[in-house]
A and B are shown apart, each in its own frame.
Chain A
Amino acid sequence: MQEVKLTVSFDDYENGIRMENLIRELAANPEAGTLESLVIGDWGQAYESSPDEFMNVLIELAPSFRSLKKLFIGDMGFEECEVSWIIQTDLTPLLKAFPELKSFTVKGSSGLSLEPLQHAKLEELVIICGGLPQEVLSSITNAQLPELRKLELYLGVDDYGFDGSLEDVLPLLEQGRFPKLVYLGLKDSEIQDDIAKAVAQAPIVDQLEVLDLSQGTLSDEGAEALLASDKIKKLKHLDLSYHYMTDEMLIRWKRSGLSVDVSDQQQSDEDDWRYPSLTE
C-alpha cells in the first residue's frame, strides 16, 4: 500500500464513527505493514476537538505501520474546517512514536506544540497554517533535525496566530542549523518583503537549491533585493507565485534568465491592503 487518507465525513461523524475507529481498522488490515504514507484528514469537528482524540491510538498502533515514511495530520479543506480554526495539540509524542518517519506535515497551528523538536531521520517538515505562533517557530529554530532537507513554513498573519516578527525568522537563515537543508519555504507571510530582503543576503542560501517565498505579500520592494543578490542567482529554482509585484518587475524576472515562478499575480484591494494567500 502506498498512501491512505482517513477522513471522518459529516455523515460518518453523526453515525458515531471516530478517527480512532478508522485507525484501528486500518492497522488490522494485513497490508498495514506496507503502508508508506498515512494522511489523517478531517477527524470531525476539528474546530472543537484536537488530535488528542486519536493520537494515543496511533502511537499505540505505530508498530503495525512499520513501513510508514510520511505522515500528514490535518489534511482538510475549508469546507471541513477553516485552517485557523483547526485545533492541533502537542504532536511531539507522535513524532517520537515513528522514529523511521521521513516526512511530517501538519495543517493548523492553533494549540500546536512541537517542543522539543528532535528526530534523527526526518527529511521533510511542512507546517500549513494561517499564522505560525512564535513558540512553534522557536521550537523549529532550536530543533535537532540532522537529516532535514526540506522545511516549508506558512508564516501567515497575526490575526491567525503569527505573533512573531522578522527577528524570530532570522535564526532560520543561519548556516549550519540544518546542514542538509536544500529547500527552504518561508511563505504565506504578511511580512514577505522583509523576509525576502533578509533572505537575499543570508548565508543559508548558499546551501539551498530551492527558495520558496510564495503565497505572501511580496511586492517589488522584496523583489528588488532578490534580483540584486548573487546568492539568489545560484539557486536552481525560486518560487514567488502568488505575489503583488508589478508587470515591470515580472518582465525583469523573465529577463533574468532564472528559473522562477511568478504566476498568480494579485492586485491590492481598494485600501491598498495586501493579503497573503492562506488567510481564508
Chain B
Amino acid sequence: MSGVTANQTDQRRQPQSQSNERHIERPFWLIGNPDNRRTKGLQQARLECGLSPAKVIPYADVLKTWRQGGSLADVVNPGLQRKATAEVAPLIRMDAPGEQWDVERELLSLGAKDGDPNTESLSRESFTAEEALELRQDWGRIYAPAQWFNGWKGCLKRIGREAGELWPSARFLNDPEDIATMFDKRKCQQHLSAHRVDVPPVLQSPEQILSYSELRAAMQASGMYRVFVKLACGSAASGVVAYQINPRTGAEIAVTTVGMAVVKGRPIFYNEGRMQRYTRNEEIKTLLDWLCAEGAQIERWMAKASYGSRVFDIRQLVAGGHAGHAIVRLSQTPITNLHLRNERMLPEEAGVDGYRLGLVQTAAQTAMAAFPNSWSAGIDVMLSGGDNPRTYVLDVNPFGDLLYHVQHNGLGTYEWEMDILRKEPYEHA
C-alpha cells in the first residue's frame, strides 16, 4: 500500500451512494495455485479494497478430480453452488497454472494422446498419461511443450464447459477460450492482425515449418534474415529464440534462454537463467529442429526502440478497457522479458514521452478490444526506433498483471483491478 494514504483507503472503502442497487457483492472465484504470489497478491488487494476474499479453487484439485471421474462441482463446495444464482452470479478469474509441479504433471497427463497415433508428429517429445504423472521434476527442463499445451487447452475448455453447465449465471473475467487463443502465439497474432492491430510480419506459413532446414529455406525465399522463433504455446521467454543469418557470409546466431544437454543420447531442453548465444551450426540445428517440431510462431525480428545501449519494449496492463500500469523492459539482448533479471523502468525514466506512451496505450487497448469477452491482460508492445515510431503488439498475456513496484493512480496492479471491478461491475455476455 505504499504511496496510498490512509485517507484515500478509507474513501475507497466507502459504499458508493450512486450504486446502492449493486450492493450485493458478487462472489469471486479464483482458479489458481493457492499461496503463490498471484493468489496472495489478489487476496491482499481484495482486502485493501474492502471486498470479501476470493474463493480459491486449486488447479491441482480440479485436475485430480477430473482424472478420478469427477467434475468442478466436486471441487467447489456445495454452499457456494447454492449461492450461484442469477442475482449473485460468481465472477471467475482463471490465473496462471505455472510454477507448480503437480499441476504441470497433470496438464502433461491431460494432454497425452494415448493410443491415438495420428495426432502427433513423431519428432515431438511425448509421454503417456501415466508416464506424465510419474515424472520427477528436473528443474528448468521444458517437458513436451506441445503436449503440455494440449493439456492446458483441454483444461481451459473443460472449465469453461463445466462452469457453464453447473452455474449458468457465472461469468469469467477472461473467457477460457480467449485465454487459449492468447496463449497460442500463432493464433493470437493472426487474431490481432484480423482485428487491425499491428503485429510483426510473420514468415509465410510458419505452421508448415517443422524443421531447421525448412526454416532456413523459408527465410532465404522471403529474404527475412532475422526472425524470432517462439514456441507457439510458450509463456513468457520460455522457448524464444532470436535467430539471424548473415546472407553474405552464411554466419548464423541464435540468442535464447534455452539451454541444451544430451541425456541418454537424446537432446533435452531447459530454461537457463542466463542468455545463451549459439553460433555453431550443429547446436543451432538441434535447437531449431526441436522448436519447429513442437510448433513455432516465426515472425520478423524488428529493431525495437533503444534507451542508451539497451533496447526495450513495454508491458502495458489493460483492465476493463482502461490502460493502467506500464513497465519498460530493457535488455542488452533481443529478449526483454521480465523474468530474465532485465532492468525495468517507468516510461518517463526511460525517456518514453507522453506521445509515445499514448501510442503504446492505444495499441494495447486496441489489442484488448479484439477480445471482447475478456477483461484484462498484460500487453507487450514495442515501439520502432526513429523519429516516427510505430507500435507493434508482441504478446497478449492473460496473466500479465503480476507486476511489482509499480503504481497507477497510487494503486498496485491487483488493487487497481479490484478497484475497477468494485466501481464498474463486470457484465459480459
Contact = CB atoms under 8 A, between A and B. Distances in A.
Contact of A11 (B277, B334, B390): B390
Contact of A48 (B247, B251, B311, B334): B247
Interface string A38-69: 00001000011000000000000000000000
Nearest to B223: A45
B76 to A, nearest CB: 48
A21 to B, nearest CB: 14
Contacts of A82: 244, 246, 253
Q: Is the interface of A mostly helix, strand, loop or mixed?
A: loop
A1 to B, nearest CB: 15
Contact of B303 (A47, A79, A85): A79
Contacts of A77: 303, 306, 309, 311
A95 B309 CA distance: 27
A156 to B, nearest CB: 15
Contacts of A78: 311, 333-334
B244 A7 contact: no
Interface string A76-87: 011110100101
Contacts of B277: 280
A47 B253 contact: no
Contacts of A47: 225, 246-248
B301 interface: yes
Interface string A115-134: 00000000000000000000
B304 interface: yes
A22 B333 CA distance: 29
A9 interface: yes
Nearest to B332: A78
Contact of A9 (B249, B303, B333, B334): B303
A7 B385 contact: yes
B384 A85 contact: no
A9 B246 CA distance: 18
A82 B251 CA distance: 11
Interface string B267-297: 0000000000100000000000000000000
B386 interface: yes
B102 to A, nearest CB: 33
Interface residues of A, number: 16
B217 to A, nearest CB: 19
Contact of B384 (A10, A87, A280): A10
Contacts of A9: 303, 384-386
A11 B253 CA distance: 23
B250 to A, nearest CB: 11
B183 to A, nearest CB: 26
Nearest to B304: A79
A157 B421 CA distance: 57
A12 interface: yes
Nearest to A79: B303
A280 B253 contact: yes
Contacts of A11: 384, 390
A202 B300 CA distance: 50
A87 B311 CA distance: 22
Given A7-B386, A47-B247, A85-B246, A79 B301 contact: yes
Nearest to B300: A10
Nearest to A9: B386
A26 to B, nearest CB: 12
B89 interface: no
A42 B306 CA distance: 13
A10 B389 CA distance: 11
B302 interface: yes
Interface string A141-169: 00000000000000000000000000000
A77 B331 CA distance: 12
Contacts of B246: 47, 82, 85
Contacts of B303: 9-10, 42, 77, 79-80
Interface in B367-386: 384-386
A79 B306 CA distance: 9
Interface string A1-18: 000000101111000000
Interface of B: 225, 244, 246-249, 251, 253, 277, 300-304, 306, 309, 311, 333-334, 384-386, 390
Give the 6 A-B CB pairs with smallest separation, nearest first.
Answer: A9-B386, A79-B303, A80-B303, A79-B311, A77-B306, A7-B386
Given A12-B386, A78-B334, 20 more contacts: A7-B386, A9-B384, A9-B385, A9-B386, A10-B384, A11-B390, A47-B225, A47-B248, A48-B247, A77-B306, A77-B311, A78-B333, A79-B302, A79-B303, A79-B304, A79-B311, A80-B385, A82-B246, A82-B253, A280-B253
